[in-house]
């Protein structure tokens, strides 16, 4: 283990570090990216600090210092907001960790946007192409109003199907072929723990109406469910909250 001063920058020994970092790829995550290529990774627009910057800025700057280095920032295309899905590719944002002049490779689940050395128009087009399709029209309108895209700009047909459903279909197809196991390198969880995690996540993502409908279902307890309840300490329940959670967990499938 080495410190940030050695791993994330060239200052300690520029000649040696440059030789060691040929064709280097520096990978980080971000919260969101603006249409000009700037990335926020540690602070919300309100000023609320989510995490420390750490060595991310140095990592990205170092990639630009190296002739063959590249910075890769991975950003989820959208997140779950208070009123529904919200895009993480945004028209503009009031916080910035990585400024626009250090823009490079941005990756979402829908593809890769290569932004280095590109014009503002090319950057906007590349980012909209890997945005969730539910938010692409809004992003296009903003870019056109800001003069970054022409009024007659049309998103190619191949880039208009960026939906969670398409990703789920691709993953399911790969899983059926044995190409996409949940933990390809193995994990420390038992089968029962994995089943419990799946069911808990499904219950968490249910709407209030879905939970009410699910609670009306009658589900028998089999041996597999018995193991799950024992793991979650829900075999013997007392309070109403525990009773409802137990019923929901028994009603959802793996």
* Residue range 60-94, pLDDT digits in tens: 999 999 999 999 999 999 999 888 999 999 999 99
The per-residue pLDDT for range 13-48, each reduced to its tens digit, is: 999 999 999 999 999 999 999 999 999 999 999 999
Q: Are 113 and 105 in contact (CB under 8 A)?
A: yes
Average pLDDT taken over every residue of the chain: 92
Give yes or no for residue 10 having a pLDDT over 90.
Answer: yes
Burial (CB < 10 A; 0-12, 13-18, 19+), residue 51, is exposed
**DSSP per-residue codes, 174-195:** HHHTTS--SSTT--S--HHHHH
Whether residue 218 has pLDDT greater than 80: no
Q: How far apart, in Å, are the Cα atoms of 222 and each of 161, 229, 246, 250, 251? A: 41, 11, 14, 10, 12
**pTM for the predicted model, two decimal places:** 0.78
All domains of the chain in start order, with CATH: 4-162 (3.40.1080.20), 182-251 (no CATH)
| Locus of tokens 């626009």 | 100
Residue tagged 């919200």 (tokens)? 86
Strand pairing of 89-90 and 32-34? parallel
Give first-to-last CA distance, the chain, whole Å: 39
């Amino acid at each position: 283990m080495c410190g940030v001063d050695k791993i994330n920058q060239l200052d300690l020994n520029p000649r040696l570090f440059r030789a060691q970092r040929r064709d280097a790829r520096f990978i980080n995550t971000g919260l969101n990216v603006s249409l000009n290529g700037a990335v926020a990774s540690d602070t919300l627009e309100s000023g609320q600090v989510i995490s420390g910057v750490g060595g991310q800025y140095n990592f990205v700057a170092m990639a630009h210092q190296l002739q063959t280095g590249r910075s890769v920032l991975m950003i989820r295309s959208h997140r779950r907001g208070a009123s529904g899905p919200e895009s993480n590719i945004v028209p503009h944002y009031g916080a910035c960790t990585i400024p626009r002049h250090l823009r490079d490779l941005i990756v979402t689940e829908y593809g890769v946007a290569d932004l280095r050395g590109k014009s503002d128009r090319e950057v906007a087009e590349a980012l909209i192409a890997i945005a969730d399709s539910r938010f692409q029209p809004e992003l296009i309108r903003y870019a056109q109003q800001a003069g970054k895209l022409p009024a007659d700009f049309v998103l190619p047909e191949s880039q208009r199907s960026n939906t969670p459903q398409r990703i789920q279909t691709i993953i399911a197809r790969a899983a059926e072929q044995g190409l996409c196991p949940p933990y390809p390198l193995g994990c420390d969880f038992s089968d029962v723990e994995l089943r419990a995690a799946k069911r808990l996540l499904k219950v968490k993502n249910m709407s209030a109406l879905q939970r009410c409908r699910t609670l009306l279902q009658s589900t028998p307890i089999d041996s597999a469910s018995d193991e799950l309840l024992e793991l979650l300490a829900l075999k013997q329940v007392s309070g109403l909250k525990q009773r409802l959670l137990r019923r929901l967990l028994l009603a959802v499938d793996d």
